[in-house]
Amino acid sequence: MRIDDLKNFMSFFKSVQRTFCNLYKYARRGGVVYVSVNQSSSNEEFQNKVCVVTGGSRGLGLTLTKTFLNSGAKVVMIGSNLEALVCAKKEMKNDKLYYYHWDLTDLTDIPCRLKDICKLVGKNIDVWVNNAAYVTNKNCLEGASVFEKTIEVNLKSLLYVSISVAEYYKMNSIYGKIINISSLNSVQGSLSPYGISKCGVNYITQGLAKQYIDNHIIVNGIAPGYIPTGINQMDIYSNAYNELQRNHRYVLPEEIAELVLFLASDKANSIVGQTIFCDGGTTLV
């Protein structure tokens, strides 16, 4: 057997194996849901804009980064993992993509960091997306250290970075946007540090919106439902079934990205201080 024939056979065998594994998982989960998202094509509105995405090199943040790039914006990924930032930059090979290495728990001299970002792209910032978060399944009964770390990353950093961004917009007369990524856990009362922090994010979103709307600075939030990650080894595009959501399927990262794109656009200028839940109706009373 030739090498090429062997490679083709192995590829076919793996495909069949994956299919049977998925069928087994689908049977156990109790359903199959197929879903896809047609994302927006290039939008002239973003051609001259600079959009910053914290946690922008991985997971949902990477999808947000790609969506803004596809819409013509200059995009800056912020992250604490330099290797992940460099890899994302190499993978996309887009001259409108930049990265800025920053552990957001370091709140020293934020205005100088914002100036550095502006110098990096050669323009003022127009849209800031607070996506970075520390995710944990632990609860407050397991000790204060997990709670303190979650609050520091998800709440304290988001608050003071957002204030600095809003003051930067105000000082430079920019009609800027700030979009906070919350979670459906923010309204599901529990002793989860993550849920508590995201509840605070919703509160901060309203507070910032009230504080800065007179300066034409618009702040909103999005609370996604369950989004698939690489951890569960699931092929979301073969089966998006999820029994935990009311519509019995996962939320796709692209769905959140399209909503972020809408809120970042001028089409959403009358939406102020809202946290929009994109969770398949899961948090409906």
Give residue-wise pLDDT tens across range 11-46. Answer: 555 555 555 555 555 555 556 555 555 555 556 789
CA distance 253 to 58: 11
Which region, left, alpha or beta, applies to residue 143 given φ > 0 means left and ψ of -120 to 50 means alpha? Answer: left
Global pTM value? 0.84
Vertex 131 angle, CA 128 and 133, to 5°: 140
CA distance 208 to 9: 58
pLDDT of residue 250: 84
What stretch of H or E contains 50?
strand 50-54
DSSP designation for 223: E
Ranges of each domain in the chain: 43-228+251-278
Pick the more confident residue, 246 or 214. Answer: 214
The tokens describing 84, both together, are 């992940």
Which strands make up the sheet holding 127-130, listed edge to edge? 97-101, 74-79, 50-54, 127-130, 177-181, 218-224, 275-278
What stretch of H or E contains 63?
helix 59-70
Q: Which fold has domain 43-228+251-278?
A: Rossmann fold (3.40.50)
> What is the average pLDDT value for the chain, to the nearest integer?
87
CA distance 182 to 197: 9
What is the residue type of 38?
A: N
What is the pLDDT averaged over residues 181-206? Answer: 94
What are the helix (H) ranges across 144-235? Answer: 144-151, 157-171, 193-212
pLDDT digits (tens, 9 = 90+) for 92-111: 999 999 999 999 999 999 99
pLDDT of residue 40: 54
pLDDT of residue 239: 73
Phi, psi of 35 (to 5 degrees): -150, 145
